A and B are shown apart, each in its own frame.
Chain A
């Protein structure tokens, strides 16, 4: 598997719909993409790593999400109670209590249901019977029935065990508990329970055995002897409080830690809530996926509604699907560096990073499928996404190391009117023996960021900004737009890497190295120290023993030689790389490095000699966040050179320096 920093960069796709969003424009007046296929009815769990993004309830519900196991050996309460307040309710003649209940976990979870009267006494717990569910089943008692619809056929029957009621999962049901199964709770035996004045339904949650689970409580009813249903709790009116349709949470012990989260959500709203700590039980990746058809070729994008008003920060969510390759294989397609159109409620739409939801955003996000790219790991197919043959789930995954999330997501759908963003083209230009293929002529930060992805996943963050650089009049091939690269600081999580990387997927002439001798770039070191860059690229090779292509990484190692020409001071030197190409403090000018000076990293499996006949498909610049925290430099004019220039010194003068070469009349043989 390739180095984890090799992420897919952008696909330079053309619009597949009628219109494209012009490059560089952040706001449009386009309407949200039309809904063509509603995905909102089914949300299911992710790949097992997901611990906190549990399936949405199919009905409006109060969601009770248990994050961590509680108990004596933990910092959390074991028992958490939820009170649901009723109007004064007479259950003395009721046959059964019916609760709309859902279980978003894959297996059964157990809760205890109680009733409490106006005097808050005589709480009745279901089945004051500590026998096991098997024993109760054998005795034919303390059965709880589950229906899809009120009064519908029985879909499932469970039996109380140990005082707790198992709710099958995953599910959304009406649960019927015979009133005859309620009895006095031991400590209160002897107190009089007034069934004619019931004020609360209490749900008791045992977190010891329900870690990482979620149950959904909807409407509540009682069933009369005549078989009718009378609603006693209206979830659409649920609110925090102690009056009718109110709810509150309280802990039996006194630790009172917030390891159980209570939300009120509409049907099919997903609560994406993540928490990352440094305990071994916490998973870094949390995700979920939407079920969809295996042929989605009629559509060109996916959309969903999100409310990120509670996170208090940007929210990171990557997206992915898998293309079927053959009978048993899948090829991943990730939206690692894609973009989306954002349609905020009541606001003007704009184009932004597809995976990073702005803080405070509330509205619809539309992502074109052209933003999905092969991430550089996993089975690689032919490099073309076949929407006619994809796996049945579209995944969403978040990196919890990036911080707590508190999102509500809903209204997932496929669309055929997703709009494509077109970034500023980077035109190749010859300057003597040098072809500049990346002039950094972007309009703004987003335009730049749409073509250069900053590495994620434990890496030191980097900030990229589009800036203007002014160069001496004698300098050709540089100046104007440039990328300001600012290194972040290393994270504190144990898995944190010390590397920062920015990545680019070459296109067109950027991929063509034929006849070139090496790589050149213009750099201005604006930091107060020397700064080191590890430059890497992937050559594209035929796959060994199979169809398709493979890639071979080349990068600067130790003691590779490169030339520096400072355009301000005239300094011309040759240097050996240390851990990267080191650019002196205050340097501004050209760097040239011959392809013969690149080497394969230790993890690279392919060992073919370098050939400039092979195109390149990936470009990365890596800076150590540990050695260069918060340092910055300006990068401009990445290109290839085609002749051997030299440095000129007093003792070894040369008439063919880098500047001479770039001012020469060199003509590429293929031009």
Chain B
């Protein structure tokens, strides 16, 4: 079993929450009369919103002493109405992190292409102009309309990390060509990495059609009213990646850059054949950035599964997926060990409720 550092967020988080100090604990309990803490099957989550809310698909940025955590949550208790939430983590003098209350920073729109749900976001810092205003944070997210289950990707901008986020335009930045691709899942799972710490960003995303693949395009978002580069997207190579099935499905990936090295964390497929039918591991790999458009090859650094997330006698989380790389505000990392830190969505099967949906939670993982 690989050694790992216990997340410093572990027990301290629970204490802070209970103490109602900066965390969401008591106040959230007051709001949610039905608050039932989530069972912890492995390393402790960043925060506990109880069994009425799922917390999935994190995007975690560290900026100075702060940690910005974006994630997908259901807006209504025990519901399935996806929205994007934010918590700010602050590192205490003892090295533990405390988190602010949950704040919904993006909900489904009143109408339009993302009037159904919004989810799976990633945020990056830079300089982006929209309607005469300058924004410092750019969010890419996936959404769908009330009428369609096909996902597309949109952008939103904010002046501060905690929002509010303003939608960029009334149309997705990456749309799904139904006529060309046919009925399918659509496009989503975006990941942003700043190119110049200003307005240029890499946008990575997945298209689920004939063959699920991850793509990259180079956006110039300096003027969000005139975004360039959205149509010129290239496939990422799958060479070097490994699966537990015959073919590679490259999806649900997050990226970060360390100098000339590109890191990725992706779901390792296939999903489990047992309930819950989710992935049981994520894979971390790296490749030279210069090979992005060549016939290059990834180097797999590790697969992270429940064995890595055991906590004494708690066993490990049964499912590990929808991960992110814990990067700085520009999507950069400085990897000193084997690989960067990860934010993971984890869950187990709730034998009482016979479901997993609101069991899902977020943990941080740092390999030695």
Spell out A's residues near B (CB within 8 Å). Answer: 528-530, 532, 558-559, 561, 569, 571-576, 578-579, 582, 584-585, 594, 596-597, 627, 646-647, 649-652
Q: How far is the CA of A651 from the CA of B262 in the complex (A)?
A: 14
Contacts of A572 in B (CB 8 A): 232
- Residue B211, interface by CB 8 Å: yes
A650, B238: Cβ atoms under 8 Å? no
Counting CB contacts under 8 A, is B303 at the interface?
A: no
A651 touches B235 (CB 8 A): no
A622 to chain B, nearest CB (A): 16
Q: Which of B168-189 contact A (CB under 8 A)?
A: 177, 179-182
Q: Check A579–B218 contact: CB distance below 8 A.
A: no
A388, B199: Cα distance in complex, Å? 78
CB contact under 8 A between A529 and B237, given known A646-B294, A650-B220, A651-B218: no
Q: How far in angstroms is the closest Cβ of chain B from A93?
A: 84
Task: Choose from A584, A585, A594, A650 the contact partner of B295 (Cβ within 8 Å).
Answer: A594
**Contacting residues, chain A, for B179 (C-beta < 8 A):** 528-529, 585
Q: Which of B210, B211, B232 contacts A649 (CB 8 A)?
A: B232
Inter-subunit contact B238/A559 (CB<8 Å): yes
Specify which chain B residues have a CB less than 8 angstroms from the CB of A596 in the assembled complex: 295
In the complex with contacts A530-B180, A559-B248, A652-B292 CB distance below 8 A: yes
- CB-CB under 8 A from A579, the residues of chain B are 210-211
Would you list the 7 A-B pairs with minimal beta carbon distance, nearest first? A578-B211, A576-B235, A574-B234, A573-B234, A585-B180, A578-B210, A651-B218
| Cβ distance A576 to chain B, nearest Cβ, rounded Å | 4
- A627, B209: Cα distance in complex, Å: 13
**B200 and A559 contacting across the interface, CB-CB below 8 Å:** no
* Residues in B whose Cβ lies below 8 Å from that of A584: 180
Closest residue on chain B to residue A561 by CB atoms: B295
Find B293's partner among A578, A585, A627, A647 (CB 8 Å cutoff). Answer: A647
| Contact A558-B200, Cβ < 8 Å, known A576-B237, A576-B238, A651-B218 | no
List the B side residues contacting A582 at CB < 8 Å. Answer: 210
Q: Mark B56-91, 1 if CB is under 8 A from A, else 0.
A: 000000000000000000000000000000000000
Given contacts A585-B180, A650-B218, contact A575 B293 (CB under 8 A): no
| A573 engages B233 (CB within 8 Å) | yes
A sample of 8 more A-B contacts (CB under 8 A), given A530-B181, A573-B234, A579-B210, is A528-B179, A559-B238, A561-B237, A573-B232, A575-B235, A576-B235, A578-B213, A585-B179
Whole-angstrom distance between the Cβ of A78 and the nearest chain B Cβ: 52
Query: How far apart are the CA atoms of A650 and B234 in the complex, in Å?
Result: 13
B247 within 8 A of A: yes
Check if B238 sits within 8 Å of A646, measured CB to CB.
Answer: no
- Checking B182, B200, B232 against A571 with a beta-carbon cut-off of 8 angstroms, the contacting residue is B232
Mark each residue of chain B from 201 to 241: 1 if its CB lies under 8 Å from any CB of chain A, else 0: 01000000011010000101000000011011111111100
Q: List 12 A-B contacts (CB under 8 A).
A: A529-B179, A558-B247, A561-B235, A573-B233, A574-B234, A574-B293, A576-B237, A576-B238, A578-B213, A646-B294, A647-B293, A651-B200
Residue of A nearest to B246 (CB): A558
A residues within 8 A CB of B181? 529-530
With an 8 A cutoff between CB atoms, is B195 at the interface? yes
Instruction: Scan residues 280-295 of chain B and give those whose CB is less than 8 A from a CB of chain A.
Output: 290, 292-295
Once bound together, how far apart are the Cα atoms of A651 and B202, in whole Å? 9
* Contact residues of A: prevailing secondary structure: loop
Interface string of B301-335 (1 = CB under 8 A from A): 00000000000000000000000000000000000
The answer to whether B295 and A646 have CB atoms under 8 Å apart is no
- The docked-state distance in angstroms from the alpha carbon of A529 to that of B210 is 12
Chain B residue at smallest Cβ distance from A652? B293
Q: Are B200 and A650 in contact (CB under 8 A)?
A: yes
- Shortest beta-carbon distance from B266 to chain A in Å: 14
The residues in B between 237 and 257 inclusive whose CB is less than 8 angstroms from any CB of A are: 237-239, 247-248
Spell out B's residues near A (CB within 8 Å). 177, 179-182, 195, 200, 202, 210-211, 213, 218, 220, 228-229, 231-239, 247-248, 290, 292-295
Chain A residues contacting B231 (CB-CB under 8 Å) are: 569, 571
Residues of chain A with a CB closer than 8 A to B290's CB: 652
Residues of the A chain whose Cβ atoms lie less than 8 Å from the Cβ of B247: 558-559
The verdict on A597 contacting B295 (CB below 8 Å), with A559-B238, A576-B238 known, is yes
Docked-complex contact B211 and A558, CB < 8 angstroms: yes
Task: Determine the chain B residues whose CB is within 8 A of the CB of A528 once the complex forms.
Answer: 179-180
B239 smallest CB distance to A (angstroms): 8
Q: How far is the CA of A646 from the CA of B234 in the complex (A)?
A: 13
Bound CA–CA A597/B181 (angstroms): 24
A575-B234 contact in complex given A585-B180, A597-B295, A650-B229, C-beta closer than 8 Å: yes
Q: Which residue of B lies closest to A596 (CB)?
A: B295
Residues of B within 8 A of A647 (CB): 234, 293
Docked CA distance A532–B293 (Å)? 21
User: Which residues of chain A are near B182, meaning CB under 8 Å?
Assistant: 529
Please name all residues of chain B whose beta carbon is closer than 8 Å to the beta carbon of A649 when the two chains form the complex. 218, 232, 293
How many angstroms from the CA of A529 to the CA of B181 in the assembled complex?
A: 7
CA distance A651 to B229 in the complex (A): 11
CA distance A576 to B220 in the complex (A): 24
List of A residues within 8 angstroms of B295 by Cβ: 561, 594, 596-597
B202, B211, B234, B237: residue with the most chain A Cβ atoms closer than 10 Å: B234
CA distance A614 to B115 in the complex (A): 58
- Residues from chain A with a CB closer than 8 A to the CB of B233 are 573
Most buried by B among A559, A572, A627: A559
Q: Are A585 and B211 in contact (CB under 8 A)?
A: no
Assembled-state Cα–Cα distance A596/B290 (Å) = 20
Alpha-carbon gap, A663 to B233, bound state (A): 25
Q: How far is the CA of A579 from the CA of B181 in the complex (A)?
A: 13
A585 surroundings in chain B (CB, below 8 A): 177, 179-180
Q: How far is the CA of A25 from the CA of B290 in the complex (A)?
A: 54
Residues of chain A within 8 A (CB-CB) of B294 are 574, 646
Q: Which chain A positions have C-beta within 8 A of B200?
A: 650-651
Chain B residue numbers with a CB within 8 Å of A576 are 211, 213, 235-238
Task: Give the nearest-CB partner of A560 in chain B.
Answer: B295
User: How far does the alpha carbon of A30 sit from the alpha carbon of B146 in the complex, in Å?
Assistant: 72
Q: A225 → chain B, closest Cβ, in Å?
A: 85
A649 to B195, CA, bound (A): 13
Return chain B residues, CB-CB under 8 Å to A532.
210
Which A residues are in CB contact (< 8 Å) with B234? Answer: 573-575, 647
Distance in angstroms from A598 CB to nearest chain B CB is 12
Tell me the nearest residue of chain A to B290, going by C-beta. Answer: A652
Quote the shortest CB–CB distance from B292 to chain A (angstroms). 7
Q: How far is the CA of A558 from the CA of B247 in the complex (A)?
A: 8
B293 partner residues in chain A, CB cutoff 8 A: 574, 646-647, 649, 652
List chain A residues, Cβ under 8 A from B239: 559
B226 to chain A, nearest CB (A): 14
CB distance from B289 to the nearest CB of A (A): 8
CA distance A207 to B247 in the complex (A): 56
Pick the residue among B210, B229, B235 that contacts A574 (CB under 8 A).
Answer: B235
A408 to B210, CA, bound (A): 49
- With A and B bound together, what is the CA distance between A594 and B234 in angstroms? 16
In the complex, the answer to whether B195 meets A651 with C-beta atoms within 8 Å is yes
Question: Chain A residues near B238 (CB, 8 Å)?
Answer: 559, 576
Q: How far is the CA of A584 from the CA of B181 in the complex (A)?
A: 10
| Alpha-carbon distance A582/B293, docked complex (angstroms) | 17
B181 nearest in chain A by CB position? A530
Residues of A within 8 A of B248 (CB): 559
CB distance from A222 to the nearest CB of B (A): 75
Q: How far is the CA of A242 from the CA of B237 in the complex (A)?
A: 80
Closest approach, in angstroms, between the C-beta of A645 and any C-beta of chain B? 11
Give Cα distance in the complex from A627 to B220, angstroms.
Answer: 35
Q: Which residues of A are found within 8 Å of B236, using beta-carbon distances?
A: 576
The answer for the CA separation of A561 and B233 in the assembled complex, in Å, is 14
Alpha-carbon distance between A579 and B292 when the two chains are bound, in angstroms: 22
Considering the complex, give the chain B residue whose CB is closest to the CB of A574: B234
Chain A contacts for B228, CB-based, 8 A? 650
Complexed CA–CA distance, A530 and B178 (Å): 11
Cα-based distance from A621 to B213 in the complex (angstroms): 24
Complex-state Cα separation, A651 to B203, whole angstroms:
12
